[in-house]
Structure 1
Amino acid sequence: MGQDRTPAGGLRVTTDRRPLREVLADPTTRLTATFLLIPRLEMVELLADAGFDAVLVDLEHGPISVDDLPGMVAAGHGAGAYVLARLGERTPATIGRVLDCGVDGVVLPHVESAADAHDAVDAARFPPDGSRSLNPYVRAAGYDGTESFLTTANAGVAVLVMVEGKDGLAALDDIAAVAGVDAVFVGPVDLSTSLGLPGQPEHPLVLEKVQDLMDRLARTGIGTGIYCPTPHAAARWQRAGARLAALSADIAMAGAGFRRTVEELHDLNTEGRSR
């Protein structure tokens, strides 16, 4: 499921941007995203214009801070893309600050138990569904939040919990059963390390574990997200039912594009000299 976009000033904008939580609840959803490590709104706009449905701003590994988020969220929404933030920690204060910036969802790392998942949901939802602190003068509330903001935020903001280790796999059924978890996001890179195969997310054993995980989640009806290093991997997991495929990362794709351009120039010069 991609978004319906129309040209507008060189960028494509959505004509139907449903809340991400609602979108992820639909089993027919197939969103294509990528991780963002370059803290530039121009990169967000380029990715949206290229056709990515969502960007995952990486606050865990990228040189990005919460201060960078408002501009990126504005750029993404203006170009018709969803903007999520992958956090480096799951503290209530950090989750609340990120959500106050207006992101459509949070991706929370290293969830290894139902208790971890419950704490994450609690921090991301306003009462009575959780304990998120309210400030009506933040971007997410339109700088002048009313009571309706509490309801719309709870109904719209998605909570994705990352399962990326042996403990998380063992507790998967309990994690998926936690009310308010909208999707389980699989981290095959860290999972490969946990399985003694560091840096090998496409190893047959890792693929076997991921497929088993997705099969188990499918039986629960909960959404699945997953990091995919290549288009081939993304297509595989989308066919398997992943509702959010995070394909590669901005910096990886940019580097590959730069290398292809220089290699093409080198090849053309070589052909010219041989004539």
Structure 2
Amino acid sequence: MSSINNVERFRERLENNQICVGTSVQVCDPLMSEVAAEAGNDFIWIEMEHSHMSRADVMGHIMACRGTPTAPLVRVSHPDPNLIKPYLDMCPAGIVISMLESAEQTEMIVRACRYPPKGFRGFGPIRNMYGIDSTAEYLEKADDQILIIAHIETIQAVRDLDAIVRIPGLDGISLGRNDLSGTLGKLGQHDDPEVLEAIDTVISKGVEAGLHVGCSIGSDVDQVAEWRAKGMKWFALGEEVGYFFDGTKEVADKVHALA
């Protein structure tokens, strides 16, 4: 029986090196995730670092993906096991951890997502056990229910990346280009040679380690093509607020031009 979070389909596509596209959701209404799923996105990036959503809102977005092929990922703001714990029991397909800067932090987060003896995750699953008859059966499957992804967005993390990518249990890394450029003192200067070198390091070291490398950027198809050629597999492109703004502005501008 497949998990209710569609993690099997998402993982299979990644393991087969098929490109995966998703979009970020920041608005509380889970209709946004349902619409994004119906539009054909492989995953939803539920944004909990730069949004005003509550835990209840996150649950709604995760549930909105059920019955679709779309995998819900939750992005949290910093590497804190207590912050991550409640989201694990909502049964997302993946957790994206922001501001990880060291192998030690990464190992701690992986252990926070694993039950004893592999880790120290507290036992309190609800949605995670749907369709599973016993605790023993669930524990056999629990590790496969969730993808653990380190969001690499500081130069400190890049400098420790050789160790980070080798932490057992880490499934993937994602590139945070804007904050990475900021930690180099060059925020938004995406074509700066030092920034480009750091970006290439993130991609190449992740690919070499066999991790699923992805990113969260705007809807720049040319950039997607370049990074895809370097081994990146999954792309969180834009967000619903931006798409709504662009669409409504285009219509408004056309109508105003009729006057």
1:92 Cα deviation after fit: 1.8
Structure 1 match to 2:130: 142
Using the alignment, how far apart are the partners of 1:167 and 1:24 within structure 2? 31
1:18 Cα deviation after fit: 5.0
Structure 2 match to 1:72: 61
Give 1:86's match in structure 2, choosing from 71, 75, 85: 75
Report the count of equivalent residues: 253
Residues 103-144 of structure 1: CA distance to partner in whole angstroms, max 9, x if unpaired? 1110001111110100010001122322111114x2222398
1:214 Cα deviation after fit: 1.0
- Are residues 201 and 257 of structure 1, via their aligned partners in 2, closer, same or farther at CA, if it must alter by over 3 Å? farther
Larger CA deviation: 164-173 vs 247-256: 247-256
Structure 1 match to 2:3: none
Runs (5+) with no aligned partner, structure 1: 1-16, 271-275
Structure 2 match to 1:8: none
Residues 31-84 of structure 1: CA distance to partner in whole angstroms, max 9, x if unpaired? 111111111111101111122111111111111121212221111122321001
Query: Could you tell me which amino acid in structure 1 is paired with residue 115 of structure 2?
Result: F
Using the alignment, how far apart are the partners of 1:181 and 1:151 within structure 2? 18
- Are residues 103 and 57 of structure 1, via their aligned partners in 2, closer, same or farther at CA, if it must alter by over 3 Å? same
Kept in 2, the 8 Å contact 1:193–1:199? The answer is: yes
Q: Which has the larger radius of gyration?
A: 1
Kept in 2, the 8 Å contact 1:122–1:131? The answer is: yes
What SS class does the counterpart of residue 236 from structure 1 fall into?
Answer: helix
- Are residues 96 and 89 of structure 1, via their aligned partners in 2, closer, same or farther at CA, if it must alter by over 3 Å? same
1:166 Cα deviation after fit: 1.0
Query: Could you tell me which amino acid in structure 1 is paired with residue 97 of structure 2?
Result: L
Structure 2 match to 1:47: 36
Using the alignment, how far apart are the partners of 2:118 and 2:13 within structure 1? 19
Runs (5+) with no aligned partner, structure 2: 1-5
- Are residues 209 and 90 of structure 1, via their aligned partners in 2, closer, same or farther at CA, if it must alter by over 3 Å? closer
Give 2:254's match in structure 1, choosing from 261, 264, 267: 264
Structure 1 match to 2:239: 249
Query: Could you tell me which amino acid in structure 1 is paired with residue 224 of structure 2?
Result: A
Kept in 1, the 8 Å contact 2:77–2:99? The answer is: no
Q: What is the TM-score with the length of structure 1 in the denominator?
A: 0.84
Structure 1 match to 2:220: 231
Residues 193-216 of structure 1: CA distance to partner in whole angstroms, max 9, x if unpaired? 111111344555423321232122
What SS class does the counterpart of residue 48 from structure 1 fall into?
Answer: helix
Using the alignment, how far apart are the partners of 2:186 and 2:251 within structure 1? 33
Using the alignment, how far apart are the partners of 1:21 and 1:153 within structure 2? 16
Give 1:102's match in structure 2, choosing from 91, 105, 123: 91
1:169 Cα deviation after fit: 0.5
What SS class does the counterpart of residue 77 from structure 1 fall into?
Answer: coil
Query: Could you tell me which amino acid in structure 1 is paired with residue 120 of structure 2?
Result: S
